[in-house]
Amino acid sequence: MILNSILEKIGNTPLVKIREVTKELSQQVSVYAKLEYFNPGGSVKDRPAYWMIKKAIAQEKLTQDKIIMDPTSGNTGVAYAMVGAVLGYRVELVMPANASQQRKDIAKTFGASITFSSEMEGSDGAIRLAHKIYQENPGKYFMPDQYNNPDNSEAHYETTGVEILQQTKGAITHFVATMGTSGTVMGITRRLKEHNSHIVCIGAQPAHAMHGLEGLKHMPTSIVPGIYHEKNLDEVMWIETEPAYDMAERLGKEEGLIVGYSSGAAMVASMEVAKRLKAGVVVTVFSDHGDRYFEGMKW
């Protein structure tokens, strides 16, 4: 395979059957996970970051003189940084100071600069600071605004959702995804429902305002993303941090999948759904790789 650039490798990630963790389920129920860490920037966020930037260039909102700047809890920042490096745009990220060290290091290695917002204010602090910087510097930045930009969820409508239908040959009955900006769940849900309105679509979020599930939002106590429409979902599930951590560990030991904690949360939610079923095909998304969370690993 020869690529014109690494960006051509975004998408078309594998769908893998979860075999051991699911042993207690009825034989007629299967669970599959879309391994988004196979994207070149290492997470699901490569898709919307590239999509939003491509669209902005086509619409001349992003020109060579502008700097790409957006609030991010980490993975989107890495994705912007990678896309910016390939396409020749400067990238400035606004991240909570307590985002994982690996993500900060990776974004910097792609050449991005980072402004840190208060670790006490989580992703909402990064949103507020980014908007302030944008307003104080008219004309300097292009802000994709991933929380409010419909092109975020459109990336998943046009790519991830289509891939899931193709990979399951349309057999999917239930879809489960965790929510940060909600772009993943909103875009895939729209695609799946358009194909078959009976596919049950579920969004999972942290059960409490204070949680350890980096990348995810507890909507009731957060700035609600403009692209989030709860009414489009069949169900919202609430996930505790501890079981999600334990599940991420099990996925490594039992399935050979080293995943981030939000993937643990996605699997906890998927198991809850799968246990209710006599027959069905549950599909979920593992958003990133667990090595981004290893403490102390420094390049």
Ligand X SMILES: Cc1ncc(COP(=O)(O)O)c(C=O)c1O
222 near ligand X, rule: CB under 6 A: no
Rounded least distance, CB 124 to ligand X, Å: 14
Q: Which is nearer to ligand X, 21 or 227 (CB)?
A: 227
Contacting residue, 25, 93, 126, 179, with ligand X by CB under 6 A = 179
- Residues with Cβ within 8 Å of 79's Cβ and at least 6 positions away in sequence, in order, are 39, 41, 43, 45, 46, 48, 49, 50
Bridge partners, 142 (sequence order): 68
For residue 95, how many other CB atoms are within 10 A of its CB? Answer: 28
Nearest to 82 by CA among 48, 114, 115, 46: 46
Tell me which of 173, 178, 189, 284 binds ligand X, using CB under 6 A: 178
Bridge partner list, 117? 96
Residues 248-287 that bind ligand X (CB under 6 A): 260, 262, 287
> Which residues are CB-neighbours of 258 under 8 A, at least 6 positions away?
251, 252, 289, 290, 291
User: HSE (CB half, 13 Å, CA atoms) of 222?
Assistant: 27
Distance CA 126, CA 42 (A): 22
Which residue is closest to ligand X by CB? 215
Is residue 45 part of the contact set for ligand X (CB under 6 A)? yes
CA distance 136 to 218: 29
Q: 70, 145, 255, 288: which one contacts ligand X (CB under 6 A)?
A: 288
Site for ligand X contains 205 (CB under 6 A): no
Question: Considering the rule CB under 6 A, would residue 180 count as an interface residue with ligand X?
Answer: yes
Choose the stretch contacting ligand X; rule: CB under 6 A; options: 18-26, 78-86, 177-185, 233-241.
177-185
Site for ligand X in 86-145 (CB under 6 A): none
Among 49-57, 73-81, 162-170, 188-196, the segment contacting ligand X (CB under 6 A): 73-81
Answer yes or no whether residue 181 interacts with ligand X by CB under 6 A. yes
Is the CB of 179 or the CB of 273 nearer to ligand X? 179
Integer Cα distance of 66 and 57 in angstroms = 11
Number of residues that bind ligand X (CB under 6 A): 18
Binding site for ligand X (CB under 6 A): 44-45, 73, 75-76, 178-184, 215-216, 260, 262, 287-288
